[in-house]
Chain A
Amino acid sequence: MLRDERLSQYALLIVALALVAAYLFPVYWMYVTALKTGNEITAWPPTFWPANPDFAAAEVWQRMQMATYLKNSAIIAVGVTVIVVVLGTGCGYALARVRSRWMDVVLFSILMMQVLPSSLMITPIFVAFSQVGLLDYPRSAVILAQAAKVLPFYVVLTRATFVQVPKELEEAALVDGNTRIGAFLSINVPLARNGILVAALLIFLQSLGEYVYSRSLIQNRALQPATVGLQSFMGPNTSDWQGVMTYAAIYVTPIILFFVLLQRQIVSGLTSGALK
């Protein structure tokens, strides 16, 4: 009996490994392409490991001054995440708790606000920001615009999480004399922490990849994030694909490592649902 369970567990593990390998193939391809020289990239049959791995990482890091770019990406992503979590968590909670026509209208309007792609929103935003002088603080301008872009997404996600938190616990806390805000912070937020954490994480990662707003709102190279730096590789006559992929690899590797090392803290919370 126990042995059977073991066996089936390993069978599951093997299937899981195959699934992960298939899914991560494009990521692998990014790394391999980063090691190939121009001609090998277009070779047929394609090579799964470069004949002469060509590490361009140090050169690309230097040439593109990537340290600055990555620092700016991090500043923008952290700024966006903080604003979104602070402004949006309560809204997700209220929308989950209160049932009324009025709240339906609110939820509806929030969804509406994120309908257009950034590429169509940027022109009015640029015009408005330049009128009120926000363009003088370009990174803050991007943080505000991107926060507005992802806030509806965050609200809808956290709302779905708060729906799953039992009302009874909060009601009991209120009977015990807690204030609404006290009950919200001490009961609801801790119970919904997994959902909040995951939503915040998704927002953070998405903001790390933000490109359209940064490109238009930040003119000073020293303040631009890594995506804008990456795009500068990809002009019509200068596309150096090995460089592009090397850059992308340098950019993505720390984030992937961060995940692999902090798996336990970040993702394992998912399996042990807060409500068990």
Chain B
Amino acid sequence: MPATSSSFRDGRGFDRMLVWITLTFLIVFSAFPLAYNILMSFQSVDLFTLASFDRPFVGLDNYKEVLTNSATDIIVKNTIVFVLLSVAAQLVIGFGLALFFQQRFPGATWLRGLFLAGWILPGLVVGAVWSWILAGDFGVLNWVLQTLGLTDDKIFWLSDPTNSLYSVIIANVWIGVPFNMILLSVGLSAIPDDVYEAAELDGAGRVWRFLTITLPLMRAQLGAVISLGIIFTLQQFDLFAALTQGGPSNGSNVMQYWSWELSFQDYRIGQGSAVSVLMIIVVIGVAAIYVRSTRHEHAA
């Protein structure tokens, strides 16, 4: 079909134009702040030189300071735990709910929509509500656990350094579930029914169908959801501010919150920027893996 291929060739300009529209906007509004952060990570910056470019360069000093800080180890470890656990739990729960609500029963669609409430609440409010639920002395979670006989003593979710990170993870998973569930639902409903029907006729069981049909067909959605989930989790800031402020004693501190603390509470802005650049490096890794994965994804 020469006509098709030639019109595709002619249309290259169209694709490029579409991409450039977005890219231009992002370069103007996002690339500059990013570059500015990178620049500051090599400079000595304080509150009062924030807006001037005329600042002394200090080479890698900020990075050295950050990497030799006694808190670095625990903060990096916390960040990894926070991201992995949050993303895994969001995905499993979100996917489970998406599959569950894919079944036909009265009110399925309607009830599923209610899960979006978690996405509607502004971060500030979510943080405040969870801080009440998780409070040690009068929190309702402790009451539920004690009433069910699961625990004897009150658990100090937010003020015990061994628990505080997990408290933030619980709240963060709550926020992330609707996002995962709704997007995966969109993907699930885009899979044609006849594919399943054919498999059913072949005698494939539920699990087998899920593994051999659903998962491969959901590849694009899963890739998007996981990579965005990681990036969102790395950006989670409000919850830390509302629940633990990274404490007690850095017990729940993570890089994104630490970077802000260094910059805007200790006013060591060069060091704060250095931490943010280290985070960018992590995201480069995530983005690269995602982009690679799109090469193999199923195109209908």
Q: A–B direct touch, CB within 8 Å, in complex?
A: yes
- Do A44 and B143 have beta carbons less than 8 Å apart? yes
Known: A116-B37, A194-B186, A211-B124. A20 touches B137 (CB 8 A): no
Contact A113 B192 (CB under 8 A): no
- Contact string against B for A residues 225-257, beta-carbon threshold 8 Å, 1 for contact and 0 otherwise: 011001100100000010011001001100110
Check B260–A20 contact: CB distance below 8 A: no
Q: Point out the residue from B135, B189, B286 that lies within 8 Å of A194, measured CB to CB.
A: B189
Closest to B286 in A: A111
User: Known: A20-B115, A94-B19, A208-B122. Contact between A110 and B26, CB under 8 A?
Assistant: yes
Task: Report the interface size class on chain B.
Answer: 35 or more
Q: Does B48 contact A (CB under 8 A)?
A: no
Residues of B with C-beta under 8 A to A156: 224, 227-228
Check A110 against B23 for contact (C-beta < 8 Å): yes
Task: For the complex, give the distance between the alpha carbons of A27 and B83 in Å.
Answer: 25
**B34 to A113, Cβ gap below 8 A?**
yes
Q: Given A29-B129, A166-B300, A202-B179 in contact, is the A209-B291 Cβ separation under 8 Å?
A: no
Q: A26-B174, A119-B237, A275-B192 are in contact. Are A128 and B19 (CB under 8 A)?
A: no
> CB distance B288 to A157 under 8 Å?
no
In the complex, are the beta carbons of B21 and A90 less than 8 A apart?
Answer: yes
Whole-angstrom distance between the Cβ of B64 and the nearest chain A Cβ: 21
How far is A126 from B193 in the complex, measured between Cα atoms in Å? 51
- With A111-B283, A127-B50, A198-B182: A30-B138 Cβ-Cβ less than 8 Å: no
Q: Is the CB of A41 within 8 A of B23?
A: no
Contact B143 A45 (CB under 8 A): yes
Q: Which residues of B contact A167 (CB under 8 A)?
A: 299-300
A227 near B26 (CB under 8 angstroms)? no
- Residue A38 at the chain B interface, CB threshold 8 Å: no
A114 touching B30, Cβ below 8 Å: yes
List chain A residues, Cβ under 8 A from B133.
26, 29
Cβ A43 vs Cβ B121 within 8 A: no
Interface residues in B92-131 by Cβ distance below 8 A to A read: 97, 100-126, 128-130
Using an 8 Å CB-CB cutoff, how does the interface string of B224-244 with A read, 1 for contact, 0 for none? Answer: 100110010011111000000
Interchain CB contact under 8 A, B15 and A98 = yes
Which of chain B's residues have a CB closer than 8 A to the CB of A94?
Answer: 14-16, 18-19
B228 and A227 form a contact (CB under 8 A): no
Interface mask (A140-169 → B, CB under 8 Å = 1, otherwise 0) = 000011011101110111011101111100
Task: Determine if A67 is an interface residue (Cβ-Cβ < 8 Å).
Answer: no
Is A241 within 8 A of B128, CB to CB?
Answer: yes
Query: Given the complex of chains A and B, what is the CA–CA distance between A253 and B252 in angstroms?
Result: 32
Q: Does B220 interact with chain A (Cβ within 8 Å)?
A: yes
Interchain CB contact under 8 A, A46 and B143:
yes
**Residue B177 contacts which of A23, A107, A174 (CB distance < 8 angstroms)?**
A23
State whether B124 touches A231 (Cβ < 8 A): yes
**A157: chain B residues within 8 A (beta carbon):** 183, 224, 228
* CB contact between B119 and one of A41, A44, A205 (< 8 Å): that residue: A205
A87 touches B124 (CB 8 A): no
Q: Is the CB of B18 within 8 A of A91?
A: yes
Query: Is B182 a contact of A202 with CB atoms below 8 Å?
Result: yes
Classify chain A's interface size.
35 or more
Is there contact, CB below 8 Å, between A252 and B220?
A: no
Interface string of B30-67 (1 = CB under 8 A from A): 11111011000000000000110000000000000000
Mark A94-123 against chain B: 1 for CB-CB distance below 8 A, else 0: 111111000110111111111111111101
In the bound complex, residues from chain A placing their C-beta under 8 Å from that of B287 are 108, 111-112
Interface 9-residue window, one of B3-11, B71-79, B160-168, B207-215: B3-11
A37 in contact (CB, < 8 A): no
Task: Give Cα distance in the complex from A144 to B32, angstroms.
Answer: 14
What residues on B are CB-neighbors of A46 within 8 Å?
A: 138-140, 143
Picked from A113, A166, A230, the residue with its CB within 8 Å of the CB of B125 is: A230
How many angstroms between the C-alpha atoms of A231 and B123 in the bound complex?
Answer: 11
In the docked arrangement, what's the CA distance between A156 and B290, Å?
11
CA distance A120 to B261 in the complex (A): 10
Within 8 A of B (CB), among A163-201: 163-167, 171, 174-175, 180-181, 184, 194-195, 198
Contact status A266-B113, CB under 8 Å: yes
Instruction: Assess the B15–A115 pair: CB atoms within 8 A.
Output: no
CB distance from A258 to the nearest CB of B (A): 9
Q: Which A residues fall within an 8 A CB radius of B? A: 9-10, 12-13, 15-17, 19-20, 23-24, 26-27, 29-30, 33, 41-46, 87-88, 90-91, 93-99, 103-104, 106-121, 123-125, 127-128, 130, 144-145, 147-149, 151-153, 155-157, 159-161, 163-167, 171, 174-175, 180-181, 184, 194-195, 198, 202, 205-206, 208-209, 211, 226-227, 230-231, 234, 241, 244-245, 248, 251-252, 255-256, 259-260, 263, 266-268, 270-276
| 6 A-B contact pairs sorted by A residue (CB < 8 Å) | A90-B19, A94-B14, A95-B19, A151-B22, A234-B128, A248-B128
Give chain B's interface residues, CB within 8 Å of chain A: 1, 3-4, 7-8, 10-11, 14-19, 21-23, 25-26, 28-34, 36-37, 50-51, 97, 100-126, 128-130, 132-133, 135, 137-140, 143, 174, 177, 179, 182-183, 185-187, 189-193, 220-221, 223-224, 227-228, 231, 234-238, 256, 259-260, 263-264, 272-273, 276, 279-280, 283-284, 286-288, 290-291, 294-295, 297-300
